[in-house]
Amino acid sequence: MKIAGLASNRGRNLRHIADVAPGGAEPSVVLTNREGAPVIEAAAERRIPTEVVVREDDESRESHEKRILDRLAAYDFDLVCLDGYMRVLTDEFLDAAPTTLNVHPSLLPAFPGTDAHEQVLDAGVRTTGCTVHVVTEAVDDGPIVTQEPVPVYEDDDEDTLKRRVLQEAEFTAYPRAVRWFAEGSVDVEADADGTPVSVAVDGDTGGSFPARRFASEDRAASLRYGENPHQDAALYADPACEEASVVGADALNPGSKGMGYNNYNDADAALGLVKEFDAPAAAVIKHTNPAGCATADTLAGAYDRALRTDAKSAFGGIVALNRQCDADTAEAIVESFKEVVVAPGYTESALDVLREKKNLRVLDVGPLGAGDERFSERFVEKSIVGGRLVQERDLQSPSVDDLEIVTERDPTDEQLETMIFAWKTLKHVKSNGILFATGTETVGVGMGQVSRVDAVTLAAMKAEKDAEGKSAAGAVMASDAFFPFPDAVEEAAAAGIEAVIQPGGSVNDEDVIEAANDHDMAMAFTGSRCFRHD
């Protein structure tokens, strides 16, 4: 699609559209009605042809527009984009030209005219933005194509608001509108006189992954620093979130240091893990990975089993519990240095114990809920340069009946129970992830490796070197993705693994199964993987 751009001054939006080429659209000409307008030099730098058509002192608007149309006739264009074009167009131009768009620096129909930012500030509104609309002879009154909101802050003045509306709203909305036209997604309907009256956009729908998203979050805290001391950071909260979270947790240890970026990140990971289990569960997290996890008949028992997986790595870690913390569990937690404890409540005696550690952050997230109620948030997202990745949360929770046994040897009932526990825990281990478990407790964890065999080797090493009173011998191994070759199974067999749970689906599944049979191992397929890369 080719664009004819009309501007009277800098033409910042036209420059931006030329730079990003939304939908492949590009300006074929930039025309200005003002000699020496900065947009001329900006267009020339981009090798875009320019035209200057100045209105004479006694010239009518219609005559001036006819001369503009005559000059534009030498160029091919499918869309006209105005950008700070300080003339109201008449039917002389609009009837002869293709669809003409303009961007206005407010959310029309509010605050039309040339002083929109002043009007916004005088009115005291808390949200402004921009509007891209089809141009008609009525000023700022054509049918709306798209809008983009921008918050208004207490310390805003006209200059700061103008700059943010341009950079945060107009640079988003105008290219979007152009892209829609370039893709043929826009239907402009006109009345009997040919005046545009409505706009419909194909595909601009809602649902789980809408074509457009607006996110509004409130700053909940200014953090001491980010991942490292030289990085500033803040915590933003979603006020509509109903799920128990560390963002809205009450801090119950007055005088302790404030939560930092890493503390929140690790605490969120820890809480997400213990939500997986109905039985009393405890997890110890270090750098968002489980150093250990277990369930047991008592919370103190679960914490003890989780800690003994890797007490060395648990030093300075985060503890999460899925039950009210009691005194016995609290006494065990404070025996070594921890940064944060997260739980859905605490007994008074537990708080007395935990508060003896002045810098231990103690977070009460409130009731977790039961079953699926624990997971009200359907999506997770990750910011990347230039955008955000959004996906559904991995809420898969296979049962024994969902497993496909693929080896000659069937797993025992106890091994099947361990497989389910291991899979739920493995979902929270960074890929490539391998986890060894017995009963309902971790034995060794191999996380974040670029080789699956190395992840097996690491899990075996951690089990033998760092686990207290535990061993890989006789344990179950869980893998977050299929084994491309039998070598990882061979490595696991050497460590003493007797059963394996994995997704399956490799072209070499038969070789992997054969290796398991050769070592008298039981193996089950889940049919789905549980990668975790963030």
Active site residues: 104
CA–CA dist 513, 69 (Å, integer):
74
CA–CA dist 86, 388 (Å, integer):
36
CA–CA dist 408, 519 (Å, integer):
11
Which positions ≥6 away from 391 have C-beta within 8 Å? Answer: 379, 380, 381
Helices (H) and strands (E) in the chain — how many of each? 16, 25
Q: What is the DSSP string of 137-186?
A: SSTT-SPEEEEEEEE--TT--HHHHHHHIIIIIIHHHHHHHHHHHHTT-E
Phi and psi at residue 102, in whole multiples of 5°? -140, 155
Do residues 504 and 527 touch, judged by C-beta distance below 8 A? yes
Do residues 123 and 89 touch, judged by C-beta distance below 8 A? no
Query: If DSSP codes are grouped into helix, strand and coil, which group holds residue 505?
Result: coil
Bridge pairing between strands 234-237 and 144-151: unpaired
Prior bond to 143 cis, omega within 30?
no
